[in-house]
Amino acid sequence: MAKLIMAASLALAVILSAGAGHAQPAQFTPGDETPEEFPAGVGRDDAFYACTACHNFKLVAQQGMTRLQWEDSLQWMIDRHKMSPLPEKDKKIVLDYLEATFPPRAPAPGRGWQNPFSPR
Ligand code: HEC
């Protein structure tokens, strides 16, 4: 009987350690997204592939910024996150797309910050 328990716990230990060996943090793989999921435009694919080297493009697409702010973000990726600078030509194409496709959004009525003193 003791032998059976030994064998059973040994098998369990093997299963657990095998499981642990395969446990990996959920990771983004570029295959999860395709450029076609995002609004069409000149430079879309360039922007998609430039940015998805590190993170998904939804992170980019959920922002709305002016060209200057996009340029700052790009610079921030380079300064803070070790992105390799884009060649000037590609940088223009990418910024053109980001500016045209993800401009600053006005808050929808009833959402976002509301001035409590403004007449309704
Ligand atoms: C070399 C890696 C790298 C590249 C390439 C890169 N980023 Fe990032 N980016 C990061 C990291 C790291 C973060 C912060 C971690 C996170 O939120 O996933 C981030 C976060 C962001 C954010 C979110 C900032 C916030 O306030 O939440 C934006 C917007 C962004 N990146 C834009 C871009 C754009 C646009 C491109 C392509 C033109 C790009 N990134 C390419 C590394 C990179």
pLDDT for position 19? 44
Residue 44 falls inside a structural domain: yes
**Does residue 78 sit in helix, strand or coil?**
helix
The gap between the terminal CA atoms of the chain, to the nearest Å, is 79
Per-residue confidence (pLDDT) for residue 57, from 0 to 100: 97
pLDDT at residue 17 tops 60: no
Q: Whose CA is nearest to atom 1 of ligand 1?
A: 83
Amino acid letter, residue 77: M
* 41-57 per-position pLDDT tens digit: 999 999 999 999 999 99
Residue at 81: amino acid letter: H
Residue 58 covered by a domain? yes
Residue 22's alpha-carbon distances to 6, 13, 26, in angstroms, are 25, 14, 12
Q: What is the pLDDT of residue 16?
A: 44
Residue 57, domain extent: 30-101
34 in any annotated domain: yes
Q: What is the pLDDT of residue 22?
A: 47
Mean pLDDT of the chain: 82
pLDDT for 114: 72
**Ligand 1 pocket residues where CB is under 6 Å:** 47, 50-51, 53-55, 59-60, 63, 73-74, 77, 81-83, 94
Considering only CA atoms, which residue is closest to atom 34 of ligand 1?
Answer: 51
Asked if residues 66 and 104 have their Cβ atoms less than 8 Å apart, the reply is yes
